[in-house]
Amino acid sequence: MTSTPTVLALGANLGDPLAALRGAITALDQQPVITIESVSSFYQTDPVGGPDQPVYLNAVVLAETTLTAHELLAVAHEIENSWQRTREVRWGARTLDIDIITYGDLVLLDEVLTLPHPRAGEREFVLVPWLEIDPNAVLPGIGPVRELAAAVATGAVRQVAAATTTRSHP
């Protein structure tokens, strides 16, 4: 079965965000159809949009999967739900958020999934951790992550903890 590279962005700002991000990485790693290639450091970031809320902890995961993009989204939602993720307020505080940023070079727009993620190129909290683990990354149809990160740089993304790079399912 063909494996597809994917970029996932993780974020949390309720409960224990560090535990949530680590738990999400572990849950992804335990999926036999997902191989984690690299995990960024953890970054503290100010909320973007939405209501007043606590700062976020964010990270980016590079992985390979044999799942379809929609199957991967379903797995992400299952992991979010295991951390009691709720969706009452758009861009509101959350216990865990897992976004699919890219799925190979797939460009997709349907009722449940847009790829690449429509705001990834504008979000420093995605671009900075992604750039850390893939200095040559390109956001399909948009451009090099290095250039995108430079264009939105505010210094509001602060590295707080290094993550151990993981390689699962040898």
Q: Any catalytic annotation for residue 87?
A: no
Q: Any catalytic annotation for residue 16?
A: no
Q: Any catalytic annotation for residue 105?
A: no
Q: Which of 22, 29, 90, 94 is catalytic?
A: 94
Q: Any catalytic annotation for residue 46?
A: no
What count of other Cβ atoms lies within 10 Å of the Cβ of residue 170?
A: 4
Q: Which of 29, 46, 99, 146 is catalytic?
A: 99
Q: Which of 85, 146, 158, 167 is catalytic?
A: 85
The stretches of 83-161 forming alpha helices (DSSP H) are 124-133, 145-152
Distance in angstroms (rounded) separating the CA atoms of residues 23 and 39: 13
DSSP output for 21-75: HHHHHHHHHT-TTEEEEEEPPEEEE---SSSS-PPEEEEEEEEEESS-HHHHHHH
Dihedral over Cα of 20, 62, 79, 125: its sign? positive
Residues with catalytic function: 85, 94, 97, 99
